[in-house]
Amino acid sequence: GAVVSQHPSRVICKSGTSVKIECRSLDFQATTMFWYRQFPKQSLMLMATSNEGSKATYEQGVEKDKFLINHASLTLSTLTVTSAHPEDSSFYICSARPSGRAGDEQFFGPGTRLTVL
Amino acid sequence: QKEVEQNSGPLSVPEGAIASLNCTYSDRGSQSFFWYRQYSGKSPELIMSIYSNGDKEDGRFTAQLNKASQYVSLLIRDSQPSDSATYLCAVGYDTGGGNKLTFGTGTQLKVEL
């Protein structure tokens, strides 16, 4: 149990375009999902917390107008990188915390590697 | 600023040995602690969670927590080459609106034949 999928796994786009990444919890419901970014040789940095039915909460320094998050259902959250630039190239990983379960465990999706040319 | 510190390694151990990975954290109020394994180019995979002082065992893995010392560790018994990965320590903290995780930079473990 606790499987999270992410799509696409890899995307290459031109500078200035927008990219949408989907995160789905496959066998559980998740009121809360999280979006992380990981640069090479660095640890995971939390970008934002996605709450079903309400606005996302962004970490300091993360532009909410650039990284649009929508958590439309208890199993789906999307991250849209708008007007992507080469510095946005990174490994984007979502995680989900099962609803109604004791504990704070987060289960990660396989990640999306974004390359902006 | 919530901080989680880990030795980056690499930590090299021979196959069959015990690997010991350590982590310290700064927030005394933290109540939840996790170890994730991350293979190169992949996303993290949850190995262990621990919430109370003491030891918690799951197969070849044992997590140890000492809240007074703000220290959490992971022991891997009978280390296998497939255990070679980066191990991330994560600490939960309450934001008032739910818990978030702060991750350490990870310790690279190499299990040698």
The whole-angstrom distance between A88's CA and the closest CA on chain B is: 17
The whole-angstrom distance between B49's CA and the closest CA on chain A is: 7
Q: Average pLDDT of chain A?
A: 94
* A residues 62..81 contacting B (CB < 8 A): none
What is the C-alpha to C-alpha distance for residues B66 and B72, in angstroms, rounded to an integer?
6
pLDDT of residue A42 exceeding 80? yes
**What pLDDT was estimated at residue A52?**
87
Q: Which chain A residues are closer than 8 Å to B89 by Cβ?
A: none
What is the C-alpha to C-alpha distance for residues A6 and A110, in angstroms, rounded to an integer?
6
Instruction: Name which of A47, A60, A101, A106 to mutate to probe chain B: the one with the most chain B Cβ atoms within 10 A of its Cβ.
Output: A106
Write out pLDDT tens, residues A84-114: 999 999 999 999 999 887 778 999 999 999 9
pLDDT of residue A41 exceeding 90? no
Report the sign of the C-alpha dihedral through residues B44, B47, B51, B53, in that order. negative
Q: What is the DSSP string of B84-104?
A: -EEEEEEEEEE-SSSEEEEE-
Interchain CB contacts (distance < 8 Å): A and B: 46
Close Cβ partners of B6 (under 8 Å, ≥ 6 residues apart): B21, B22, B23, B87, B88, B89, B104, B105, B106, B107
Nearest to A108 among B44, B98, B104 (CB): B44
Close Cβ partners of A96 (under 8 Å, ≥ 6 residues apart): A4, A23, A25, A28, A30, A32, A33, A34, A77, A106, A107, A109
**What pLDDT was estimated at residue B97?**
62
Q: Which residues in chain B come in under a pLDDT of 70?
A: 96-98
In this complex, is the C-beta atom of A111 within 8 Å of any C-beta atom belonging to chain B?
Answer: yes
Instruction: Name which of A104, A113, A114, A115 to mutate to probe chain B: the one with the most chain B Cβ atoms within 10 A of its Cβ.
Output: A104
Contact B92 A43 (CB under 8 A): no
Q: Are A109 and A40 spatial neighbours (Cβ–Cβ below 8 Å)?
A: no
The kind and range of the H/E element at A36 are strand A32-38
Q: Are B73 and B89 spatial neighbours (Cβ–Cβ below 8 Å)?
A: no
**What pLDDT was estimated at residue B68?**
95
